[in-house]
């Protein structure tokens, strides 16, 4: 059984978005500061193992001081670490941010590259981060699979996978092209507010009647 036996992709994303917005998912607040490809790139690097609320306040503070690779590189590692505290692994990320700024200046004339291959060659940017930048900064039909997308896709019976890479491949074959760009943000927002990793709110979920709840403990 899959939620897609009862919902079209469009209906599914609509229902998830409506509920997540009603519950003020942090990812929507986070999005407000991410207005350029450079900001998107920096934000994805900072966001790993960090709550979206924290990333939102840190990026706001950081972009007031440094809003380009040149401005970022002008800061010392120590200054950057202080600015981005308390994101997870802030010392490592301060170093990575400087490496990232340097690579953008030396290899891409200070611009953010637009291809998956170039993005994943940048320091600190992996597969998921590159796909987020492609979708959110450049409007490409990329699917970024993080823990929310992987978990919810399996719970809903849309995929049956054990690794995020498998989920990404399966979703690419299933999601209509024009909706791929919405998938990550919608699933993240829904995962933050309703289909949470622990104690999902199944009794209040708009998908409850159609969801097989695969792997959810009673
Ligand atoms: S019914 Fe439960 S497991 Fe299914 S999508 Fe809703 S919250 Fe997640």
Atom 2, ligand 1: which residue's CA is nearest? 202
Active-site residue flag, 10: no
pLDDT digits (tens, 9 = 90+) for 16-66: 999 999 999 988 877 777 899 999 999 999 998 888 889 988 999 999 999
* Distance in Å, CA 73 to ligand 1 centroid: 44
Ligand 1 pocket test: pick from 195, 198, 210, 217 the residue with the most ligand atoms within 8 Å of its Cβ: 195
Query: pTM here?
Result: 0.89
Are 8 and 44 found together in one domain? no
Final residue belonging to a domain, choices 138, 165, 182: 138
CATH number, domain containing residue 57: 1.10.340.30
pLDDT digits (tens, 9 = 90+) for 150-190: 999 999 999 999 999 999 999 999 999 999 999 999 999 99
Instruction: Assess if residue 218 is contained within a domain.
Output: no
pLDDT the model gives residue 93: 97
pLDDT the model gives residue 56: 87
Identified catalytic residue from 51, 146, 180, 199:
146
pLDDT at 209 over 80: yes
pLDDT the model gives residue 52: 83
pLDDT the model gives residue 23: 97
- The number of distinct structural domains making up the chain is 2
| Torsional class of 49: left (φ above 0), alpha (ψ -120 to 50), beta (otherwise) | left
Active-site residue flag, 199: no
Are 49 and 75 found together in one domain? yes
Final residue belonging to a domain, choices 108, 138, 168: 138
Instruction: Assess if residue 216 is contained within a domain.
Output: no
pLDDT at 218 over 80: no
187 vs 183: CA distance, rounded Å: 6
**Residue 208: CB within 6 Å of ligand 1?**
yes
* Distance in Å, CA 194 to ligand 1 centroid: 7
- Number of Cβ atoms within 10 Å of the Cβ of 80: 24
Atom 3, ligand 1: which residue's CA is nearest? 213
**Residue 174: CB within 6 Å of ligand 1?**
no
Handedness of CA 108, 111, 115, 116 (dihedral sign): positive
pLDDT digits (tens, 9 = 90+) for 70-122: 999 999 999 999 999 999 999 999 999 999 999 999 999 999 999 999 999 99
Q: Which residue range(s) make up the domain with 53?
A: 29-138
pLDDT the model gives residue 152: 98
Query: According to DSSP H, which parts of 23-126 are helical?
Result: 26-31, 37-47, 52-65, 69-73, 77-84, 90-108, 116-120
């Amino acid at each position: 059984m899959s939620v897609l036996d009862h919902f079209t992709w469009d209906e599914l994303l609509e229902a998830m978005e409506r509920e997540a917005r009603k519950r003020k998912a942090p990812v929507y607040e986070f999005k407000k500061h991410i207005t350029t490809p450079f900001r998107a790139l920096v934000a994805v690097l900072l966001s790993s193992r960090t709550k979206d609320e924290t990333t939102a306040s840190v990026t706001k503070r950081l972009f007031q001081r440094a809003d380009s690779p040149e401005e970022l590189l002008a800061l010392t590692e120590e200054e950057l670490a202080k600015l981005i505290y308390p994101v997870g692994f802030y010392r490592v990320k301060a170093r990575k941010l400087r490496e990232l700024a340097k690579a953008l200046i030396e290899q891409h004339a200070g611009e953010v590259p637009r291809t998956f291959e170039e993005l994943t060659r940048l320091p600190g940017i992996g597969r998921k981060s590159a796909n987020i930048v492609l979708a959110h900064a450049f409007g490409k039909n990329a699917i970024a699979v993080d823990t929310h997308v992987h978990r919810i896709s399996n719970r809903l019976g849309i995929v049956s996978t054990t690794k995020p890479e498998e989920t990404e491949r399966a979703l690419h074959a299933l999601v209509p092209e024009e909706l791929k760009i919405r998938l990550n943000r919608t699933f993240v927002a829904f995962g933050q507010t309703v289909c949470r990793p622990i104690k999902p709110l199944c009794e209040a979920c708009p998908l409850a009647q159609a969801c097989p709840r695969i792997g959810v403990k009673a």
